[in-house]
A and B are shown apart, each in its own frame.
Chain A
Amino acid sequence: MIEPLLQVRDLSVRYGAASVLEDVNFDLLAGETLGLVGESGSGKSTLARALLRLVPVSRGEVLWRGRNLLSCGAAEMRKHRRDLQIVFQDPLSSLNPRMTAGQILAEPLKIFEPALSARDRQARIDAMLERVGLGKAVARRYPREFSGGQCQRIGIARAMMLNPQLIVCDEPVSSLDVSIQGQIVNLLLDLQRDFGIALLFISHNLAVVRHLSRRVLVIYLGRLVEIAPRDALFAAPVHPYTRGLLAAASGVALGEAEPPPSERPSGCVFRARCPHRQDLCAVAQPALQAVGPEHFVACRRARDLMS
């Protein structure tokens, strides 16, 4: 049994009394694409940042190749960052407006391979710019001179510079025009195929997630409610929220409105909007239980719903 590249155990992030992420558990294998689907307030962006230790974590472990990132010292964590990268949602604001594209791409090299000569560094930058479809002539331009799609390519190039093992993609195409989204997704697919990187692809867009992922995680209000292989999830979703999401994506409205942030229900996190709720759902958040091969659902009525 190969050890997974990333193992997340009981991860919780709380800001004061408010719980943003609670008891998140999942594995990610080397070279795998894992999709994470959730809507606003689900905590998916916080999860992305928590994995990279960009936000403080209240509880839990993030095991990267066996080593808990949350207990490393700062210097050791910086060493791991070489292999664990991130691409952000807003392409423009994730680039330093005062640096040219070339300078932005040079940074990872300067940090991790300081011995590299200027010429070699430039060669690597040019090669990467070509690889992401921008061409080396753009190295001298500033982020504001690029379109959204092009900025995102720079962001991906930056993440790829040191040949990482995992790239966390936090809604990388959500701010882009629909006609451009495919370009970026296809680029990620190509890079994955050529370099064997694992991807954690976070999005609220089911179609895009379906395109890329081998397995999919569904998150609602800070908790994972379903984990399943892609085809199983889209063909036969079990959790009422997942079903609601898929129905909504096809234009069918989900019954009740979502409660505002200050009024989260007790017990099962989806109780207020669930068409199948029962009294025992108010007791506590159900744990993820296996309902099929690599398929887990956090619902007390999972068995009923599957039949």
Chain B
Amino acid sequence: MADVLNIEDLSIEFLKGQRIAAVREVSLRVTQGECVGIVGESGSGKTQIFMGALGLLPGSARATGSVRFENAEILGAPRAALNRIRGSRLCMVFQDPMSSLTPHLRIATQLAEVLVCHRGMSWRDSEQAALRMLDRVRVPEAKRRLRQYPHQLSGGMRQRVTIAMSLLCEPALMIADEPTTALDVTVQAQIIDLLRTLRHEFGTAFVLISHDLAVVGGLADRILVMYAGRVIESADAAQLMSRPRHPYTAELLRCLPDLSAPPLERMPSLPGQPPDAAHPAAGCEFAPRCRYAVQRCREQRPPLRQLGETQVACHFPVGS
């Protein structure tokens, strides 16, 4: 299977007074039609990876490493080259649909613009294609919605519109950054269903970024867990959800709410604070919060290594 996206040793640093290493030596691959989930909390760097890949980082950021999309190097590529790919072959759907839609343009205009710019289609044909796409993403009364403005749509509908916008050019890869986080729980389930269906209909590869393991677990084939800018576990989704090898992953799973189980005395949580990117630790970044940490963990950073079918960065993986 050809690689759609191949990231090798990507590191991203921000120079805002102090050096902040947001992403550290991250490598990941996405093959055709695959759905890869990236899970992490604040400071994990999960979004920055793709901002870097798409060339959306601010001027004060420095990215090193390699990002190959459909066999072409896109890290540091000139803007013209990136513009050809972004929005057509490689699309990103962001967390807050209200901010990704232009408030003063009608939905029809925003959707049609994608095809006019990237495929050179006429406005009329583009609007027709947009209408068909809105149907495919299950927006009810699509014709009426096309004439409306973003603020006239509900949150769930807006998110569908942004997904539609991304799919118009039938991209090879779609990156969804926290696509359901800003939505109500009753709508979240619908959007996840939608993404699942679209995946099969279009055969697009997906990267699903979220802090919510449950959301990712329901959709992804493979999951990468990130902490303090590094990948600390990488495995098959089913494998990771049932047999996590890194203590952090295990804790995240423990924190997942389970409404069917009786309510607990204390709500599960991790002690301590998320990592401070400005002051990286010498050893394992998770050690201050890890219940199994010993001296070696604090001094020596565990490398990411293969353990059976999982890759894990831990000196004492769970179950060993």
- Do A and B touch, yes or no (CB under 8 Å, in the complex)? yes
With A150-B273, A245-B185, A260-B152 already in contact, the answer to whether A211 and B157 are too (CB < 8 A) is no
A250 touches B260 (CB 8 A): yes
A9-17, A26-34, A120-128, A178-186 - the one binding chain B: A178-186
Give 1 or 0 for each of B232-273: 1 = CB within 8 Å of chain A CB.
Answer: 000000000000000000011001111110011011111101
A250 touches B259 (CB 8 A): yes
With A40-B155, A178-B252, A257-B156 already in contact, the answer to whether A147 and B257 are too (CB < 8 A) is no
Q: Indicate whether A4 reaches chain B with its CB closer than 8 angstroms.
A: no
Give 1 or 0 for each of A245-257: 1 = CB within 8 Å of chain B CB.
Answer: 1101111111011
Give 1 or 0 for each of B287-306: 1 = CB within 8 Å of chain A CB.
Answer: 00000000000000000000
A177 touches B274 (CB 8 A): yes
A254 touches B186 (CB 8 A): yes
Q: Indicate whether B89 reaches chain A with its CB closer than 8 angstroms.
A: no
With A183-B269, A258-B186, A258-B187 already in contact, the answer to whether A207 and B259 are too (CB < 8 A) is yes
With A177-B211, A186-B267 already in contact, the answer to whether A257 and B157 are too (CB < 8 A) is yes
How far is A208 from B258 in the complex, measured between Cα atoms in Å? 10
How far is A179 from B213 in the complex, measured between Cα atoms in Å? 11
How far is A179 from B257 in the complex, measured between Cα atoms in Å? 11
Q: Indicate whether B189 reaches chain A with its CB closer than 8 angstroms.
A: yes
With A178-B41, A205-B257, A206-B257 already in contact, the answer to whether A183 and B271 are too (CB < 8 A) is yes
Q: Note all chain B residues with C-beta closer than 8 A to A147.
A: 42, 273-274
> In the complex, what residue of chain B is closest to A212 when comparing beta carbons?
B267
A-B contact number at CB 8 A: 115
Q: Note all chain A residues with C-beta closer than 8 A to B9.
A: none
Q: Indicate whether B201 reaches chain A with its CB closer than 8 angstroms.
A: no
CB distance from A245 to the nearest CB of B (A): 6
How far is A288 from B212 in the complex, measured between Cα atoms in Å? 35
With A181-B267, A211-B267 already in contact, the answer to whether A245 and B273 are too (CB < 8 A) is no
B188 touches A248 (CB 8 A): yes
How far is A245 from B184 in the complex, measured between Cα atoms in Å? 10
Q: Indicate whether A113 reaches chain B with its CB closer than 8 angstroms.
A: no
Q: Note all chain B residues with C-beta closer than 8 A to A185.
A: 267, 269
Size of interface on A: residues with Cβ below 8 Å to B:
42
B184 touches A179 (CB 8 A): no
CB-contact partner of A253 in B193, B270, B273, under 8 A: B193
A251 touches B218 (CB 8 A): yes
How far is A169 from B89 in the complex, measured between Cα atoms in Å? 45
Q: Indicate whether B140 reaches chain A with its CB closer than 8 angstroms.
A: yes
CB distance from B103 to the nearest CB of A (A): 15
With A211-B264, A248-B189, A257-B187 already in contact, the answer to whether A182 and B259 are too (CB < 8 A) is no
B259 touches A246 (CB 8 A): yes
B190 touches A179 (CB 8 A): no
Interface residues of B in 64-88 (CB under 8 A from A): none
How far is A258 from B214 in the complex, measured between Cα atoms in Å? 23
A259 touches B185 (CB 8 A): no
Give 1 or 0 for each of B31-59: 1 = CB within 8 Å of chain A CB.
Answer: 00000000001100000000000000000
Max count, chain A CB within 10 A of own CB: residue among B211, B251, B257, B274: B257
Size of interface on B: residues with Cβ below 8 Å to A:
40
A210 touches B263 (CB 8 A): yes
Interface residues of A in 123-150 (CB under 8 A from B): 147-150
Q: Indicate whether B153 reaches chain A with its CB closer than 8 angstroms.
A: yes
Interface residues of B in 144-167 (CB under 8 A from A): 152-157
Interface residues of A in 186-210 (CB under 8 A from B): 186, 189, 204-208, 210
Interface residues of A in 255-307 (CB under 8 A from B): 256-262
> In the complex, what residue of chain A is closest to B273 when comparing beta carbons?
A147
CB distance from B141 to the nearest CB of A (A): 10
A182 touches B266 (CB 8 A): yes
> In the complex, what residue of chain B is closest to A250 when comparing beta carbons?
B259
> In the complex, what residue of chain A is closest to B41 when comparing beta carbons?
A177
CB distance from A177 to the nearest CB of B (A): 4
Q: Indicate whether A164 reaches chain B with its CB closer than 8 angstroms.
A: no
Q: Note all chain B residues with C-beta closer than 8 A to A204.
A: 184-185
B186 touches A245 (CB 8 A): yes
Q: Note all chain B residues with C-beta closer than 8 A to A149.
A: 273
A39 touches B186 (CB 8 A): yes
A181 touches B274 (CB 8 A): no
Q: Note all chain B residues with C-beta closer than 8 A to A178.
A: 41, 211-212, 252, 255-256
> In the complex, what residue of chain A is closest to B270 when comparing beta carbons?
A179
CB-contact partner of B257 in A150, A249, A254, under 8 A: A249
- Can you spell out 9 A-B residue pairs with CB atoms less than 8 angstroms apart? A179-B41, A180-B41, A180-B274, A182-B255, A185-B269, A245-B185, A253-B190, A253-B192, A254-B186
Residues of A within 8 A of B (CB): 39-40, 147-150, 177-183, 185-186, 189, 204-208, 210-211, 230, 234, 244-246, 248-254, 256-262
Given A179-B251, A185-B269, A250-B260, 11 additional A-B pairs, CB 8 A:
A39-B185, A147-B273, A177-B41, A177-B42, A179-B41, A180-B270, A182-B269, A204-B184, A208-B267, A251-B218, A258-B186
Residues of B within 8 A of A (CB): 41-42, 140, 152-157, 184-190, 192-193, 211-212, 214, 218, 251-252, 255-260, 263-264, 266-271, 273-274
